[in-house]
Chains A and B, each alone.
Chain A
Amino acid sequence: GQQVMQIPQYQHVQEGEDFTTYCNSSTTLSNIQWYKQRPGGHPVFLIQLVKSGEVKKQKRLTFQFGEAKKNSSLHITATQTTDVGTYFCFSGGYNKLIFGAGTRLAVHP
């Protein structure tokens, strides 16, 4: 069945360093969403990508959707301690709503 693989599982960075998490699917995705979950909190929507090759930016966050619509990435420039949390990719379609396993980001001041 459809799977969305997300890497890395964990990432520890020094404040000010960059961070990237990747999601890859075995099948073409209709769209992909990204969510952030702070420790002890619930997932919060960040963005949705729909078009092939789409790139969207939110301040220090850059989201990309691959040309083949099978992969996506979230890049954070110059991380801050407020970026701490777990980042999930999410895709719906084919009658399943699937989250990637998540990448837990730790930022050391």
Chain B
Amino acid sequence: KAGVTQTPRYLIKTRGQQVTLSCSPISGHRSVSWYQQTPGQGLQFLFEYFSETQRNKGNFPGRFSGRQFSNSRSEMNVSTLELGDSALYLCASSFYSGDTGELFFGEGSRLTVL
């Protein structure tokens, strides 16, 4: 079966712009979680959605937001981009909630903010 699909794979934005990233989970998975990966900070948890409800949230400013649709596809949005937002954004899907089930990761969306 198809894996987790993230789009776009690469994007370049300038400071102050906003960006929307998309994640399509494995069919049947209801949990989608998002992570920011940078060389200095490792994998930082952003938020998790389960059946369209935000279940968990990490310690990121309100500029980072997300949502999940009825088909389990998820989007995350970052507004007023800063240079420090440059990172690889990974989403992971899971059949169960993220704290109990195996996470299946997408290839990631690499964001560069100039």
On A, residues with C-beta under 8 Å from B are: 30-31, 33, 35, 41-45, 48, 88, 90-93, 95-102
Q: Judging by beta carbons under 8 Å apart, are B45 and A33 in contact?
A: no
Residues 92-114 of chain B, each 1 if its beta carbon lies under 8 Å from chain A, else 0: 10000111101111111000000
Q: Is the interface of B mostly helix, strand, loop or mixed?
A: strand
Q: Judging by beta carbons under 8 Å apart, are A99 and B105 in contact?
A: no
Query: Which residue of the partner chain, among B35, B48, B56, B102, contacts A45 with CB atoms under 8 Å?
Result: B102
Please, which residue of chain B has its CB at the minimum distance from the CB of A93?
B99
Q: Which residues of A contact B108 (CB under 8 A)?
A: 42
Q: Judging by beta carbons under 8 Å apart, are B105 and A42 in contact?
A: yes
Q: Judging by beta carbons under 8 Å apart, are B106 and A42 in contact?
A: yes
Please, which residue of chain A has its CB at the minimum distance from the CB of B106?
A42
Band of interface residues on B:
20 to 34
Q: Judging by beta carbons under 8 Å apart, are A97 and B98 in contact?
A: yes
Nearest CB on A from B12, distance (A): 19
Q: Judging by beta carbons under 8 Å apart, are B43 and A102 in contact?
A: yes
Q: Judging by beta carbons under 8 Å apart, are B42 and A90 in contact?
A: no
- Report the number of A-B residue pairs with Cβ-Cβ less than 8 Å: 55
Query: Which residue of the partner chain, among B100, B104, B105, contacts A92 with CB atoms under 8 Å?
Result: B100
Given A42-B90, A42-B106, A92 contacting B98 (CB threshold 8 A):
yes
Q: Judging by beta carbons under 8 Å apart, are A96 and B103 in contact?
A: no
Q: Judging by beta carbons under 8 Å apart, are A97 and B90 in contact?
A: no
Q: Can you add 15 more A-B contacts, CB < 8 Å, to A92-B97, A97-B56?
A: A30-B100, A33-B102, A35-B103, A42-B90, A42-B108, A43-B90, A43-B92, A44-B105, A45-B102, A90-B103, A96-B45, A97-B33, A99-B35, A99-B43, A99-B45
- Once bound together, how far apart are the Cα atoms of A21 and B56, in whole Å? 28
B8 at the interface (CB under 8 A from A): no
Q: Which residues of A contact B99 (CB under 8 A)?
A: 30-31, 91-93, 97
- Once bound together, how far apart are the Cα atoms of A42 and B105, in whole Å? 6
